[in-house]
Amino acid sequence: MTQGTGPACLKADKLQGWPAQVLCHNENMMIRRIAGALGAELHGVDLTQTLRGEQQREIRDALLQNQVIFFRDQDLSPQQFMAFAQTLGQPIEYPFVKGLEGFPCVIEVKKLEHEKVNFGGIWHSDTTYLPQPPMGSMLLAKEVPPYGGDTLFANQYLAWEALSDTMQRLLDGLVGISSSAKADVSKTREDRIKSDGKDSAPQAHLAHHPLVRTHPETGRKALYVNVAHTAGIVGMTDAESAPLLNFLFQHQVKPEFTCRFVWQPHSLAVWDNRCTQHNPVNDYHGFRRVMHRITLAGDTPC
């Protein structure tokens, strides 16, 4: 991807109201960063249509460079949503919640008017308690509250790079213990498991992953711990690991590592779980928020 400004990159009539600097590939797709740390909106793409191979490569490049990408005004059916997901990876089923009828890999992420706890409402990278956590996740807004319900994202490349050399040497090589049963995240699933839970879902998942992982496509290192799922460190007692993990949990979501996305109906977010975390803000009690989510198969972190 190249950086450009002005008509050398985009037609002049498409630049009306845009910031001076716009990242782009061609005159048909505009890519605008939304924060200094990560995140970009992609404009000029209709995901209801079949994407050409060049478009697919450009979108994946944008994801790798920006870690989370956003689209507006994408009124996708579950079939169209799945078709787009398959251009980026292999959709997989979520362990605890069943998918839509006919679309087992598309789950409904919702908070209803009478509910107080939102699904996944804590900083996390998705399902790190699996042996091969998903490489990415996709969220499509179907119903949004009149205000609130934004999602925060945090850049874990920057979180790693901001650590001192001494701390980096300490962490590199340590292995974290990820669990699906930590109390703070378990309670965020309770409403959905009651309404949409899988009968065959196991009680808990457990996996071991490095605290620092190397991204298989970019080669960059990223912190790979999260307060929702990382329960300990292999070879350490709880008393030894807790202070270190608590420091990392606070460090990795500093404001300067984050961006914030304001949802609208038919907005779509795609994020790279290998180098980001996200946190849906639970500030819309009394209102309904309904999203469709797809997760994409990943590899074994190393």
User: Residues with catalytic annotation?
Assistant: 124, 126, 278, 293
For residue 295, the surrounding DSSP H or E stretch is: strand 289-296
Q: Which amino acid is at 81?
A: F
Cα–Cα distances in angstroms (integers) from residue 224 to residues 212, 245, 260, 279, in the given order:
5, 11, 20, 15
Closest CA to 253 of 233, 228, 278: 278
CB 154 within 8 A of CB 257: yes
Strands 68-71 and 40-43: parallel
Q: 8: Cβ–Cβ under 8 A, 6 or more apart, which residues?
A: none
Q: H/E/C letters for each residue in 183-219?
A: HHHHHHHHHHHHHHECCCCCCCCEEEEECEEECCCCC
CB 222 within 8 A of CB 159: yes
Environment class of 3 (CB within 10 Å of its CB; exposed 0-12, middle 13-18, buried 19+): exposed
CB-CB neighbours of 109 under 10 Å: 21
Q: How far apart are CA 180 and CA 130, in angstroms?
A: 9
CB 113 within 8 A of CB 286: yes
The first and second tokens of residue 157, run together, are 């490349």
